[in-house]
Amino acid sequence: MAAPENRILMGKIGAAHGIKGEVRITAFTGDPEAIASYGPLDTDRAGLTITIETARLSKNVLVARLKGIRDRNAAELLNGVSLFVDRARLPDPDDEDDFYHADLIGLDARLDTGVSIGEVSALLNFGAGDLLEVRDPRSGDTFLYPFTKTVVPTVRIADGFLVIAPPVDADPGEEEPD
């Protein structure tokens, strides 16, 4: 199994689907059905590797049959399992503006003036969009920035940095509503 820092999160198994052992998978790939083409997938459970035998798109999730899983009880035990692939097994992006989210971790985060404000320590998503977590090396504090083209206008993976243009508060004296 690849070291955790060399693995790319491809999807997460959700609830069982039906009684014949199928599961729902939320895929984090551009084409959700592509997750089935990567062969055996590593998981976040020690010693568990998952192979997707068949998969079909159903609304916003993938319904998949997994090798060795043939009943609902076995499928239910996999709920919440994360699926990973070794970074070396993925093709390099075709365009310099394309990248894998994992490639952002460790990049120097700079203001447009060139001043470094820290290092990208995580890319998070709590349901309302991607957030970059930047850790200030001096204080150890972390700051979250929306990962949008407006706030992060430049990403230079090969050069080891990205540019952050922090959103400007329209009225810093205005209080938050209760």
Q: Parallel, antiparallel, or unpaired for β 154-156 and 108-110?
A: unpaired
Q: Kindly tell me if the per-residue pLDDT of 98 is higher than 90.
A: no
Beta-bridge mates of residue 57: 62
DSSP code per residue over 117-142: EEEEEEEEESSS-EEEEEE-TTT--E
pLDDT at 3 over 80: no
- 80, HSE (Cβ side, Cα atoms, 13 Å): 3
pLDDT of amino acid 173: 55
Give the C-alpha separation, 86 to 31, whole Å.
18
Phi and psi of 81, rounded to 5°?
A: -75, 130
Q: Look at residue 71 and tell me whether its pLDDT is greater than 90.
A: yes
Please check the confidence at residue 4 and state whether its pLDDT lies above 80.
no
